[in-house]
Amino acid sequence: MTSLSAIRHLIIDMDGVLWHGDAPLPGLVEFFSFLRARGIRFVLATNNASQTPEQYVAKLGRMGVPVARDEILTSAQAAALYLAGIAPRGESVYTIGEAGVQQALTEQGFRVTGGDAPYVVVGMDRGLTWDKLAQATLNIRAGAMFIGTNPDVTLPTERGLTQGNGAVLAALQAATDVSPTIVGKPEPLMYRQAMARLGGAGADTAALGDRLETDILGAVRAGIPSIFVLSGVSRRGQLAGLAYQPDWVFENIADLTAHWQNQ
């Protein structure tokens, strides 16, 4: 097992690791102060596609943690980068999603439309309506490529666990008999994009997350060590009998910081 002291690059999940909704989790400011002091570079890689990088920068700033835009990587950005590799620039894309999805696709040169399109990209959308689902269903049934930013079926909030993007993907899959192409965790693509941005190697890069089936499995598939915190969705008891395991388990980022400081 790699020692915590050997980690120089960290890929960090946000929901359930840094906060629940708008409520920061204990030790947030101290955790980032520790990373900066140790010179540990990081990318905040979230499966939540609803917000733009600028919105995440502002949210962290309100919590007392200054970060740069290029330290944020959302599944919306990852999906737009993936699509840019297979679709012509300027192509029409139908989206279910919020500002994060729309901005990411526009920055990659795509035309976001509310009607017929050969590509459908689905991210979390708190303004989801029957009409949005209907148009996505019609497009997919007509042959549009179906892309999901992430498969998370739940989302931890200050109110508790609510439905996530995976629940919407499941509804569309049931209506179309078409499985989506998933870009976010646990697929390794987003981790590879983050590693390319950091310039790290597998031996000195680790992933930090709260979901065994996305954050930790994604790290395993990407070939990097993983740190599992119990402050979000998955529980310690789920580790029993699991085919893959995290390299470290901590209660939360405050617990992680306390252990890391001693190495």
Catalytic residues: 13, 15
Q: What is the CA radius of gyration of the chain?
A: 18
Place of tokens 């989506």: 180
**Can you tell me the distance from the alpha carbon of 76 to that of 141, in angstroms, rounded to the nearest whole number?**
23
* Ramachandran sector of residue 124 (left: φ over 0; alpha: ψ -120 to 50; beta: rest): beta
Q: Is the dihedral of CA 75, 80, 81, 85 positive or negative?
A: positive
Element (H, E) at 113: strand 111-113
Q: DSSP assignment, residue 213?
A: I
